């Protein structure tokens, strides 16, 4: 019965089709992310972690830069059509970058430009993709479907980088980009195969003056949402810099090759998959899970910074992965379930903008620390961010308890 409950969203035909396509596409995405980091760190620069930080800033910065428009699009436009447009665009971008790489024409500025274009497209894709789940399963199984999405995403995270490491070592970096381009056909096919009659369309927002800023006011008026946003900003800005943490530790501390780098990148997914499956089995997300996730994230980064070998570093990455998943997945479910349906797109755009949009601030700082003080000191920044986020959760829970006593 526990297993049936954990995987209950898969009883839905539309969700099964969507999940199958997403798994293939997510695997390709993680292949590209690993290949991109390796390309910048070892082929286009002399182990320059700051350059990896710039790529991250350009790729995730648009989440914050375009936030008012991405949320507006998610709440007002047909979500299925918007997903087809964004997924097709990212497939074309992966194809172009792959061709540049295998022909030997790629330069660092090309990677910067493609990272920014990917980021702009993903900024429109992400809030729609997250809220579209409600159209597939409805609110009753929404928390479970979100957790299963995370399981799929992180299963791909375990498989993708390992495959990328083998491909890079055997036939070259560019082929990982080309395989990612091909993987987008899976998710586009799944969108085409959905049964329209079984979709549960989210309430569309009415276009009004100030509609784009309404999401800001809505979140700011809710103390619980403000606390979650602060936690996401701290961990997202200074903690979720795994491309820098893993690549610099692998290359400059443990001196691994492409296969070793791919294996370390995949190791974290063991923890995230475990965390996702635990989340899928829970009836409802709770604030205490955010507290435990943030504190464990800080502890995991501390262990990773002190790890004397690549094997112990990999073990710490498992802890970090599970903790990061707990924070991101719980915040996602809590915010969607507590938000009015007509506001979900804008609220989720704000969530993603805060969680990922701080990367232009955090990634260059973390990259500079890794270059000048060493990767272990860079990991200590992630540890501090996790513990600080845990303190925010403690304060929010204390304020709620006090309000309950007064009432």
Of 347 and 109, the structure prediction assigns the larger pLDDT to 109
pLDDT at 215 over 80: no
Look at residue 402 in the predicted model and tell me its pLDDT: 75
Of 44-53, 83-92, 102-111, which gets the smallest average pLDDT? 44-53
Look at residue 1 in the predicted model and tell me its pLDDT: 37
Instruction: Please tell me the distance from the alpha carbon of residue 328 to that of residue 235, in angstroms, as a whole number.
Output: 10
Domain limits of the chain? 2-191+210-406
Cα-flanking dihedrals φ and ψ of residue 284, to 5°?
A: -140, 145
Q: What is the mean pLDDT of the chain?
A: 85
Look at residue 2 in the predicted model and tell me its pLDDT: 40
Q: How many CB atoms lie within 10 A of CB 257?
A: 13
Cα-flanking dihedrals φ and ψ of residue 359, to 5°?
A: -55, -40
SS3 track for the chain: CHHHHHCHHHHCHHHHHHHHHHHHHHHHHHHHHHHHHHHHHHHHCCCCHHHHHHHHHHHHHHHHHCHHHHHHHHHHCCHHHHHHHHHHHHHHHHHHHHHHHHCCCCCHHHHHHHHHHHHHHHHHHHHHHHHHHHHHHCCCCHHHHHHHHHHHHHHHHHHHHHHHHHHHHHCCCHHHHHHHHHHHHHHHHHHHHCCHHHCCCCCCCCCCCCHHHHHHHHHHCCHHHHHHHHHHHHHHHHCCCHHHHHHHHHHHHCCCCHHHHHHHHHHHHHHHHHHHHHHHHCCCCCHHHHHHHHHHHHHHHHHHHHCCCHHHHHHHHHHHHHHHHHHHHHHHHHHHHCCCHHHHHHHHHHHHHHHHHCHHHHHHHHHHHHHHCCHHHHHHHHHHHHHHHHHHHHHHHHHHHHHHHHC
pLDDT digits (tens, 9 = 90+) for 322-379: 898 888 878 887 887 788 777 777 787 788 778 776 777 888 899 899 999 999 999 9
Look at residue 187 in the predicted model and tell me its pLDDT: 93
Instruction: Please tell me the distance from the alpha carbon of residue 391 to that of residue 385, in angstroms, as a whole number.
Output: 10
Write the burial class of residue 46 (CB in 10 Å: 0-12 exposed, 13-18 middle, 19+ buried): exposed
pLDDT digits (tens, 9 = 90+) for 253-296: 998 887 888 788 778 777 777 776 776 666 567 888 899 999 99
CATH class of 2-191+210-406: mainly alpha
How much of the chain, in percent, has pLDDT values that exceed 70? Answer: 92
Average pLDDT over residues 39-66: 87
């Amino acid at each position: 019965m526990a297993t049936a409950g954990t995987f209950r969203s898969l009883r839905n035909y539309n969700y099964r089709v969507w999940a199958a396509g997403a798994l293939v596409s997510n695997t390709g995405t993680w292949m590209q992310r690993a290949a991109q980091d390796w390309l910048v760190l070892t082929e286009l620069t002399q182990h320059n972690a700051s350059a990896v930080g710039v790529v991250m800033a350009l790729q995730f910065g648009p989440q914050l830069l375009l936030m008012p428009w991405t949320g507006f699009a998610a709440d007002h436009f047909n979500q299925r059509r918007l997903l087809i447009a964004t997924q097709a665009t990212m497939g074309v971008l992966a194809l172009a970058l792959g061709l540049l790489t295998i022909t030997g024409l790629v330069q660092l500025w090309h990677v910067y430009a493609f990272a920014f274009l990917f980021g702009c497209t993903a900024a429109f894709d992400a809030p729609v993709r997250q809220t579209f789940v409600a159209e597939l399963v409805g609110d009753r199984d929404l928390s479970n479907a979100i957790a299963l999405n995370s399981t799929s995403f992180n299963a791909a995270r375990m498989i993708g980088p390992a495959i990328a490491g083998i491909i890079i070592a055997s036939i070259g970096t560019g082929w990982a980009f080309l395989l990612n381009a091909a993987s987008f056909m899976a998710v586009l096919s799944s969108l085409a195969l959905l049964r329209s009659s079984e979709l549960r369309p989210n309430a569309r927002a009415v276009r009004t003056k100030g509609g784009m800023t309404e999401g800001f006011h809505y979140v700011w008026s809710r103390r619980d949402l403000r606390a979650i946003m602060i936690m996401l900003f701290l961990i997202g800005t200074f903690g979720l810099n795994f491309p820098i943490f893993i690549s610099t530790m692998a290359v400059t501390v443990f001196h691994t090759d492409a296969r070793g780098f791919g294996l370390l990148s995949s190791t974290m997914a063991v923890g995230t998959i475990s965390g996702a499956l635990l989340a899928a089995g829970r009836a409802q997300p709770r604030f205490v899970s955010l507290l435990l996730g943030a504190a464990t994230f800080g502890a995991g980064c501390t262990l990773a910074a002190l790890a004397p070998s690549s094997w112990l570093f990999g073990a710490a990455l498992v802890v970090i992965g599970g903790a990061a998943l707990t924070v991101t997945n719980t915040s996602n479910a809590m915010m969607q379930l507590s938000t009015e349906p007509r506001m979900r797109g804008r609220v989720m755009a704000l969530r993603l903008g805060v969680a990922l949009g701080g990367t232009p601030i955090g990634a260059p700082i973390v990259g500079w620390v890794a270059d000048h003080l060493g990767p272990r000191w860079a990991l200590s920044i992630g540890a501090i961010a996790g513990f600080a986020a845990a303190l925010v959760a403690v304060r929010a829970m204390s304020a709620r308890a006090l309000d309950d006593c007064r009432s």
